Amino acid sequence: MERIKIVADRNIPFLEGVFEPYADVRYINGKEITREDVMDADALIIRTRTKCNADLLDGSRVKMIATATIGTDHIDFDYCNEHGIEVHNAQGCNAGGVMQYVFSALYGVAARKSIKLDGATFGIIGVGNVGSKVEKMARYLGFNVLRYDPPRAEKEGPEGFCSLDYLLANSLVVTMHVPLDETTRKMADENFFARMQTGSIFINAARGEVMDEDALMQAIPKFGAVIIDTWNHEPDVNEKLIDMVDIATPHIAGYSFQGKQNGTSSAVQAVAKHFGIIPLYGFYPESNEEEHEPVKLDLSGKNQGEVAAVFQYNYPIFTDDFRFRLEPDNFEKMRSDYQYRREIYI
The Cα–Cα gap between 91 and 85 comes to 18
Catalytic residue among 49, 88, 177, 207: 207
Instruction: Say which of 251, 335, 341, 342 is annotated catalytic.
Output: 251
Core vs surface per residue 299-326: b (16+ CB within 10 A) or e: beeeebeebbebbbebbebbebbeebee
Q: How far apart are CA 121 and CA 145, in angstroms?
A: 6
290 Cβ contact partners less than 8 Å away, ≥ 6 residues apart:
none
Annotation marks residue 207 as catalytic? yes
Task: Give the integer Cα–Cα distance in Å for 274 and 44.
Answer: 12
One DSSP character per residue, 293-339 reads: S-EE---TT--HHHHHHHHHHH--HHHHHHHHHH-GGGHHHHHHT--
Q: Which of 86, 190, 234, 332 is catalytic?
A: 234
Taking the CB of residue 85, how many other CB atoms lie within 10 A of it?
20
Asked if residues 258 and 343 have their Cβ atoms less than 8 Å apart, the reply is yes
Active site residues per annotation: 207, 234, 251
